[in-house]
C-alpha cells in the first residue's frame, strides 16, 4: 500500500515569486495550491491554506529575496499553517536563500544570520529544504533537516555553449567563487582567470585588485553567485577591459539587482548579462542587456524526485 503521508503532492506560494511557483506547477502539470497570504492593516502577515492538506506532501515555493524580512516571515507563517493543518511533510523551497552572506563570525560581535534563519525554518516545522546555489555550500550544515542544493550552472552554461564563442575565458570575479567558476570553465572547455577583489568595510563598496590569468584579446565570461548593487561585476568588466579583453559577458544565478544596479549594468561594457529567475526580475529592472533563464524545470524535476524518493543527484550526472 502506498504511504498515505506522501501520496499527493501540493505546491503553495507566498508573495515572494508566484510566477516561478506557477511555472513549477506547469512543469509538474498540477494546479497551484490555493492559499491567502496577506497583511492586515496592523502590518501582521496572515495566511490561510484554502484546501485540505492532511497527510499531503507539501512544498512551499518562496525565495527570501526583497522584501527579505516580509518574504521570510510569510514563509515561516505558511509552514506553521501547513503544520497545524496536519500536512504529512513540509519542504521549504527557497530558490534564493536570503541572509546567506551572513554565514560566519568574521568580526567581533556580529551574528550568523544564515544559521538563525535555518533554526527559524526548522522551529516553524519545515521537514526539508530545497534551494539553488547557496552563497556558501556549508550553509547546508546549519540545518538538522535534509537539504538539497541544486545548481543553475548547467542552465547558464548551456546558454553560452550554444553561442559557440571563440577565445572564451571564464573569469571568477573573486577568489571565493573560483571553485564554482572552475566548474563553469570545465563545462565550456575554456580556461579560467580570477580577479582578486577586496570589500571595503561593511558597506557595499568593492575594490578590484589583480587579474590572475591570461585574458588579453579574449572574450571574457564573468561568473558570480549574485548581483546585488552590481559593483562587483561592473568593476570586474572594467578591469577586464583595462587588461585588453575584446568583449565581456556575465552569468550569475541570483539577480538581486538592488538600487541602480540595472542602470549600472546598462551603462557598463557588458554585451549581455545572463541570470536565472530564482528572484523575480521586474519589468523596471529589465534592460536590453539582461537575459533571464528559468529554473522552474530544475525545481519541478527536483520536487518530483523528492516526492517519489528518487535521486536528485542524478539530475546533475552528465
| Residues taking part in catalysis | 197
**Distance of closest approach, residue 39 Cβ to ligand R5P, in angstroms:** 29
Among residues 18, 125, 154, 176, which is the contact residue for ligand R5P, using CB under 6 A? Answer: 176
Q: What is the C-alpha separation between 58 and 70, in angstroms, rounded? A: 21
132 Cβ contact list (under 8 Å, min separation 6): 95, 96, 149, 150, 151, 152, 253, 254, 276, 278, 295, 298, 299
Q: Please say which residue, 126 or 150, places its beta carbon nearer to ligand R5P.
A: 150
Give the total of residues touching ligand R5P (CB under 6 A).
14
**Distance of closest approach, residue 232 Cβ to ligand R5P, in angstroms:** 3
Q: What is the C-alpha separation between 212 and 42, in angstroms, rounded? A: 54
- Residue labelled with grid coordinates 580556461: 191
Cell of 20: 516561478
**Distance of closest approach, residue 195 Cβ to ligand R5P, in angstroms:** 10
Q: Please say which residue, 74 or 226, places its beta carbon nearer to ligand R5P.
A: 226
User: Is 103 among the residues that bind ligand R5P (CB under 6 A)?
Assistant: no
87: nearest Cα among 6, 186, 162: 6
Q: What is the C-alpha separation between 80 and 202, in angstroms, rounded? A: 34
Edge to edge, the sheet with strand 89-94 lists 9-13, 57-61, 89-94, 128-132, 147-150
User: Is 278 among the residues that bind ligand R5P (CB under 6 A)?
Assistant: no
Q: Is 165 exposed, middle or buried (0-12, 13-18, 19+ CB in 10 A)?
A: middle
The residues in 198-257 that bind ligand R5P, with binding defined as CB under 6 A, are 204, 206, 224-232
DSSP for 254-275 reads EE---TTHHHHHHHSSEEEEEE
User: Is 133 among the residues that bind ligand R5P (CB under 6 A)?
Assistant: no
Span interacting with ligand R5P, options 28-36, 77-85, 102-110, 170-178, rule CB under 6 A: 170-178
**Distance of closest approach, residue 263 Cβ to ligand R5P, in angstroms:** 13
Q: Please say which residue, 56 or 180, places its beta carbon nearer to ligand R5P.
A: 180
Angle at 177 between CA 175 and CA 179, to 5 degrees: 95
Q: Please say which residue, 224 or 277, places its beta carbon nearer to ligand R5P.
A: 224
Q: Please say which residue, 147 or 236, places its beta carbon nearer to ligand R5P.
A: 236
Give the interface with ligand R5P as residue ranges (CB under 6 A): 174, 176-177, 204, 206, 224-232
Amino acid at each position: 500500500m502506498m504511504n498515505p503521508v506522501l501520496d499527493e503532492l501540493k505546491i503553495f506560494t507566498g508573495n515572494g515569486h508566484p510566477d516561478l511557483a506557477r511555472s513549477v506547477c506547469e512543469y509538474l502539470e498540477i494546479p497551484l495550491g490555493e492559499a491567502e497570504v496577506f497583511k492586515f492593516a496592523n502590518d501582521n502577515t496572515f495566511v490561510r491554506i484554502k484546501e485540505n492538506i492532511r497527510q499531503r506532501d507539501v512544498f512551499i515555493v518562496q525565495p527570501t529575496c526583497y522584501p527579505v524580512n516580509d518574504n521570510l516571515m510569510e514563509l515561516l507563517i505558511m509552514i506553521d499553517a501547513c503544520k497545524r493543518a496536519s500536512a504529512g511533510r513540509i519542504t521549504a523551497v527557497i530558490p534564493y536563500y536570503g541572509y546567506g552572506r551572513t554565514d560566519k563570525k568574521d568580526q567581533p560581535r556580529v551574528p550568523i544570520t544564515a544559521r538563525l534563519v535555518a533554526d527559524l525554518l526548522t522551529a516553524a516545522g519545515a521537514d526539508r529544504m530545497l534551494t539553488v546555489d547557496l552563497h556558501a555550500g556549508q550553509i547546508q550544515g546549519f540545518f538538522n533537516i535534509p537539504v538539497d542544493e541544486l545548481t543553475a550552472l548547467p542552465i547558464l552554461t548551456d546558454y553560452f555553449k550554444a553561442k559557440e564563442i571563440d577565445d572564451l575565458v571564464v573569469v571568477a570575479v573573486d577568489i571565493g567563487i573560483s571553485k564554482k567558476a572552475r566548474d563553469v570553465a570545465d563545462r565550456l572547455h575554456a580556461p579560467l582567470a580570477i580577479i582578486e577583489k577586496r570589500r571595503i568595510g561593511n558597506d557595499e563598496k568593492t575594490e578590484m585588485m589583480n587579474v590572475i590569468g591570461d585574458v588579453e584579446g579574449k572574450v571574457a565570461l564573468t561568473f558570480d553567485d549574485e548581483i546585488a548593487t552590481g559593483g562587483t561585476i561592473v568593476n570586474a568588466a572594467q578591469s577586464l577591459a583595462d587588461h585588453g579583453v575584446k568583449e565581456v559577458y556575465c552569468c550569475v544565478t541570483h539577480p538581486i539587482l538592488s538600487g541602480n544596479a540595472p542602470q549600472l549594468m546598462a551603462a557598463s561594457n557588458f554585451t549581455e548579462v545572463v541570470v536565472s529567475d530564482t528572484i523575480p526580475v521586474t519589468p523596471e529592472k529589465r534592460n536590453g542587456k539582461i537575459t533571464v533563464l528559468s529554473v522552474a524545470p530544475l525545481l519541478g524535476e527536483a520536487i518530483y524526485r523528492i516526492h517519489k524518493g528518487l535521486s536528485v543527484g542524478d539530475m546533475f550526472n552528465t
